[in-house]
Each structure stands twice: as C-alpha cells, then as structure tokens.
C-alpha cells in the first residue's frame, strides 16, 4: 500500500507564508522604483487608462471576451471563472479539492513624448503595480475570484515660461512661470463569480464519437471603484524691484462607489479537440459619488520642508458632486485547437471588439475633452508538442490592437500597437507535486497620435506576471 504524497496543512501554511512575503516585497519594492512618469494626456477624463487585461492576455493583443484557461484568471469576463479546476468527487455540495490560483503582475514602461513643432523628445520610465487576483473553484463549473487592480493613472507636470506685456504700452513688465501638475488615479477592488448554466457532451455527425463538451457560462462581478484627482496650478512672477509671493490654485477630488459588470461565454465543439468560444462582457453607465476641496493660497518654497503656506486666500472643503462613467461592451470569439499530449500541439486565435461611450462622461456636470472610443484586438497563441526540450513547453503569444483613444484634444488620437508574449512554466518538484507555477511575459509597443496632434506618444511596456496555483483542501489518503 503506497502513500500518495499530497499537500498537507503544514505545506499549505508554508506556501501561504511564502506568498505573503512575496506580496509584501512586491508592493514595497516595486511600486516606487521609478517616478519620472509624465503623460500630459492624463489630465483629461479619469486619466490614462492602464492595461485592462491580464498579462497573458496582453501578449495576445488584449483578448479577453472569449478567453479562458484553467491555470489563469481572466478577471475581465467573470463567466470564465466557471473554468477553474475542481475535483469531480464532491460530497454534500462541499468542495473536496480544487486548484486555487494566485496571479500578480507588474509593468515596466518607457514612454516617449514628441512635439511635432520641435526636435526634442521627453522620455520617462517607471515600474507600476498591475494587479493581484485570486481564483478559487467552489465546485465543478462554478468559481470565485477577487482582487485589486488599477483602472487609470494621472501623472503630468508641464512648466510654461512667458513674458508678461503691459496692454497699455505693449512693453514687457514681468516674467512668469506656471507649473501645471496632476497626480492620482483610480482603482477597483472586486469580487465575482461565474458558473455554467448548462453543459452537455456533443457527438459527431455519426452520433457515436464524443467530440467535446458544449457549455454556456455566465458571471457577475461587484466591486468598489475609488480614486483621487489632484490638479494644481502654481504661478510665480519675477520682477527686478518687486517681490511677489507664489500662488497655488489646487483642486483635490476623492471619489468612490460600487461598480458592477456581467459576462457570458458559450463554447461549442466543432470537431475532436477543436472548439469555438463566443464571449461578451460589459458594464452599464454608472454614477460615482465625489467630494472636492478647492484651495487658493500663497506659499514659499523651503529647501528643507518643501512648500510652506503663507496665506489661504480661499478654502472650500467637501464640495459634493457626481462623476458619470460610461457604459462599455466587449465582445469576441476564440477558435482553439487543444493539444494532445506527446502527439499534437495546440493553438488559438481570436478577435475582440471594444466599445466605450465616453461621450456620456461628466465631472460635476461638466463635459471634458473625451469622446467615445472603439478598439479592435486580434491575437493568438501557439503551444508546440511538449517534449524534453524546455522551449517546446512554452506558450508563444502574439497580438495586435488599434482604435482611437478616448482623449480628444484637437484632432482625435489614433492608437495602434502590437504585442508578443511568453508563458514560461516552472518545473514541478517532488516536495510540491501539485503546485503549478507560470511566469507570463508580455512585450507591447504602442503609439498614440501623430504629427497632426499636439503631442505624439510612443510606449514600450514589459509586463511580468506570476501565476501560482495549488490544490487546496486536500486530505491525506491511501490507495
């Protein structure tokens, strides 16, 4: 009689301790690595929209509507949570065992701004938290996921120097410097569930051979969207004889409210190991509660303590208002060929269409320089036949995306870009035979705007994700 070595509570606690230490290191070490980010377009709307999908999806151009994999978390479409792996042996509708997943990611970005009127360029680099997500199977074809991810980022600093002219004499009187700056962004803490409405085995035309499982899944996500917009304008006047105090005009807005999304996926087998999945998810327009502080003050700069207020000209606190966010819809399909161990490799290709109605965006009842946007995402993945060669066990991903940005200052900002990704599995050890760890890499290059826009922007992003999974709730047993 041989003892089957499975995960014991002691090993689970060890794994949890390691993951906790990793997350602490992740948040403390990488969040402030670079702080040179400067994106003037983040002044508008809710800021620059950060990559909305998981890192393995970004390697495929951002496919998410119909995408699902047992060892990854597609947090965009909650219907995909029904694909989390759970043991078929269930007792009293309680989970006996299942594969829990922890997925975390970080982005390294290099952004280059170019003014078509000048030859100079501005380049900035940064490292930013991408997401942390946990997925747990509740039972067969029913899963739960929760996590935290950023939605947008505000980070800009623009300095303008000018010579003031006396309107009566047309002679210069003073020099002035104005600093426009903004910080902030928004985050979403969410929890969702996905389950299958029905599933059935599908046979070929002869009615004798089973070619796969037909499955219809739905999902729902509820979360709390929160953030801050801190905009300031600092003005300094220079005169040979008169000394002026520096002035600061600042508005700080904090906002937050519940957020809801829903999704659906339908998979139908076409033939043996080949299936087509259709998917869609979206959110309806939502109103977010906001509170704003408006400051008008004079200050001086002290090298040891920074800015020191001299006088408060005007200070209005806790001004209530609403931020109206747009509705959105993403729909697409994935055609997937499943590999056969030691015989055939696998592949998938897919297309997504994204629509966001930013024309309905309002900030305290005011419109902004935004517009409704659409986007096309095309991507795929290739899995070679697994062999002893490590490179044959890697998932190779590629993608393309295009469409206008939601920011519109003057002419519309067209966006276009491509991506390449890798799914790197780590070897399974004897001490932890049920653990599966993937390192997902995505390399993206995108361009926003051209010479007809005020500024054009090119972005190169490297994203690194860690997907760690293990069977939980397993009891020691014999065979």
For the domain covering 3-478, report its CATH number: 2.40.160
pLDDT at 210: 84
pLDDT at 388: 80
- Give the DSSP per-residue string, 279-294: EEEEE--EEEEEEEEE
Q: Which two tokens stand for residue 119?
A: 């030859």
Which carries the bigger pLDDT value, residue 87 or residue 299?
A: 299
pLDDT at 11: 42
Per-domain residue ranges of the chain:
3-478
Q: pLDDT digits over 336-394, tens only?
A: 998 877 778 899 999 999 999 999 999 999 999 999 999 999 999 999 988 888 898 89
Q: How far apart are CA 214 and CA 352, in angstroms?
A: 21
Q: pLDDT digits over 264-298, tens only?
A: 999 999 998 899 999 999 999 999 999 999 999 98
- Which range has highest mean pLDDT (70-74, 90-94, 162-166, 417-421)? 417-421
Q: How confident is the model at residue 413 (pLDDT cuts 50, 70, 90)?
A: confident
pLDDT at residue 239 is higher than 90? no
**Cα-only R_g, the chain:** 26
Which carries the bigger pLDDT value, residue 347 or residue 236?
A: 347
pLDDT at 48: 93
**What value does the mean pLDDT take over residues 3-13?**
38
pLDDT at residue 1 is higher than 60? no
Cβ atoms of 113 and 122 within 8 Å: the answer is yes
- CA 155 and chain centroid, separation: 17
User: DSSP character for 83?
Assistant: G
**What value does the mean pLDDT take over residues 408-427?**
90
- Give the DSSP per-residue string, 372-415: -EEEEEEEEEEEPPP-SSGGGG-EEEEEEEEEEEEEEESEEEEE
pLDDT at 39: 84
Which carries the bigger pLDDT value, residue 94 or residue 245?
A: 245
DSSP SS3 for 239: coil
pLDDT at residue 479 is higher than 70? no
Q: How far apart are CA 303 and CA 280, in angstroms?
A: 54
**What value does the mean pLDDT take over residues 253-263?**
96
pTM here is 0.85
Q: Which two tokens stand for residue 363?
A: 């900030």
**What value does the mean pLDDT take over residues 14-23?**
47
pLDDT at 446: 95
Poorest-confidence range of 89-103, 121-135, 144-158? Answer: 89-103
Q: How confident is the model at residue 435 (pLDDT cuts 50, 70, 90)?
A: low
Poorest-confidence range of 8-17, 195-204, 434-443? Answer: 8-17
pLDDT at 301: 77
């Amino acid at each position: 009689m041989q003892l089957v070595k499975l995960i014991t509570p002691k090993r689970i606690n060890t794994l949890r301790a390691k993951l906790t230490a990793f997350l602490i290191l992740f948040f403390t070490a990488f969040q402030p690595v670079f702080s040179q980010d400067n994106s003037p377009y983040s002044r508008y709307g809710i800021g620059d929209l950060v990559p909305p999908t998981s890192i393995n999806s970004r390697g495929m151009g951002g496919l998410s509507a119909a995408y699902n994999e047992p060892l990854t978390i597609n947090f965009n479409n909650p219907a995909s949570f029904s694909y989390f792996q759970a043991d078929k042996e269930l007792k009293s509708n309680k989970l006996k065992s299942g594969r829990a997943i922890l997925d975390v990611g970080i982005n390294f970005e290099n952004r280059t701004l170019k003014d078509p009127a000048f030859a100079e360029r501005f380049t900035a680099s940064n490292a930013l938290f991408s997401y942390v997500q946990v997925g747990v199977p509740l039972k067969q074809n029913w899963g739960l996921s929760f996590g935290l991810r950023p939605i947008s980022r505000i980070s800009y600093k623009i300095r303008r120097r000018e010579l003031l002219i006396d309107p009566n004499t047309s002679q210069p009187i003073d020099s002035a410097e104005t600093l426009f700056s903004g910080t902030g962004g928004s985050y979403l803490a969410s929890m969702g569930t996905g389950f299958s409405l029905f599933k059935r085995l599908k046979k070929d035309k002869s009615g004798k051979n089973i070619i796969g499982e037909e499955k219809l899944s739905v999902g729902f996500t509820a979360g709390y969207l929160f953030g801050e917009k801190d905009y300031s304008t600092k003005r300094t006047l220079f005169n040979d004889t008169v000394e002026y105090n520096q002035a600061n005009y600042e508005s700080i807005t904090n906002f937050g409210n519940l957020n809801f999304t829903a999704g659906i996926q339908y998979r139908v087998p076409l033939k043996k190991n080949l299936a087509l999945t259709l998917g869609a998810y979206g959110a309806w327009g939502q109103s977010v509660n906001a509170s704003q502080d408006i400051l008008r003050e004079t200050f001086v700069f002290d090298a040891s303590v920074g800015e020191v207020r001299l006088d408060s000209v005007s200070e209005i606190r806790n001004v209530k208002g609403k931020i109206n966010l747009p509705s959105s819809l993403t729909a697409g399909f994935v055609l997937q060929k499943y590999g056969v161990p030691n015989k055939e490799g696998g592949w998938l290709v897919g297309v997504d269409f994204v629509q966001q109605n930013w024309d309905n965006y309002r900030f305290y009842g005011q419109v902004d320089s935004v517009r409704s946007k659409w986007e096309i995402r095309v991507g795929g993945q290739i899995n070679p036949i697994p062999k002893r060669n490590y490179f044959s066990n890697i998932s190779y991903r590629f993608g393309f995306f295009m469409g206008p940005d939601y920011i519109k200052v003057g002419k519309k900002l067209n966006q276009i870009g491509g991506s390449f990704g890798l799914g790197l599995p780590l070897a399974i050890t004897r001490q932890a035979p049920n653990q599966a760890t993937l390192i997902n890499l995505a390399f993206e290059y995108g361009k926003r705007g051209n010479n007809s826009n005020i500024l054009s922007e090119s972005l190169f992003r490297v994203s690194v994700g860690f997907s760690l999974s293990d069977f939980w709730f397993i009891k020691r047993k014999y065979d």
